[in-house]
Amino acid sequence: MSKIVVLRMGHRPQRDKRVTTHVALVARAFGADGIILADVQDRGVERSVRKVVELWGEPFFIRSGEPWRRVVEDWHASDGLVVHLTMYGLPVDEVLPNLAGKDLLLVIGAEKMPSEVFDLADFNVGVGNQPHSEVAALAVILDRIFKGSELKKEFKKWRLRIIPRNKGKKVEKKL
């Protein structure tokens, strides 16, 4: 089974904690194995995401404060592909066949990305070529990679889980 990790670059703790938390939640719910917040340590985001994993199930990891260039170099050294999500990239559907079965590092930014990221990436991928949220781009590419199967994923060691219903809410609790 291939591994998929999200590298969040440019996270600004005072400004981006909510969006970065949403990025992590989407990564987890849509099938990624974990997320790394590059360069900046944010214990608050780490705590929030770990609490979700504790309540709603695992596996999923979060780490912060790792230098982005080292993460990318280590990923390449392990023969994984680096996929930079950008509106300037090739259309996602053109690139998908090249990603199948590979370990993927999905790189997304919170602000303007260093030009080196475009050069270091194996693929610069556009999920549409209009400005939009990195959260949306991540959800779309993960859904395309997993062909919808991630939506049926069973998490382990959950304490809460939703029982699907047409009307009303039902949450199963396991203490």
Residue 78's pLDDT is what?
95
Is a pLDDT exceeding 90 seen at residue 14? no
Residue 132's pLDDT is what?
86
Residue 11's pLDDT is what?
73
Q: Please give the mean pLDDT across all residues of the chain.
A: 93
DSSP states of 148-161:
TGGGGPPPBS-SEE
Share of the chain above pLDDT 90, in %: 82
Residue 3's pLDDT is what?
97
Residue 145's pLDDT is what?
96
pLDDT digits (tens, 9 = 90+) for 79-93: 999 999 998 999 999
Domain ranges (residues) in the chain: 4-173
The CATH number of 4-173 is which of 3.90.1150.10, 3.40.50.1370, 3.40.1280.10, 3.30.70.360?
Answer: 3.40.1280.10
Quick one: 104 exposed, middle or buried, by C-beta within 10 A (0-12, 13-18, 19+)?
Answer: buried
- 99 or 112: whose pLDDT is higher? 99
Q: What average pLDDT does range 20-40 have in this prediction?
A: 95
The Cα 123–Cα 106 span in angstroms is 10
pLDDT digits (tens, 9 = 90+) for 105-157: 999 988 888 999 999 999 999 998 888 889 999 999 999 999 999 999 999 99
Whole-angstrom CA distances from 175 to 47, 54, 55 are 20, 11, 10
Q: pTM for the full model?
A: 0.94
Residue 89 Cα to chain centre, angstroms = 18
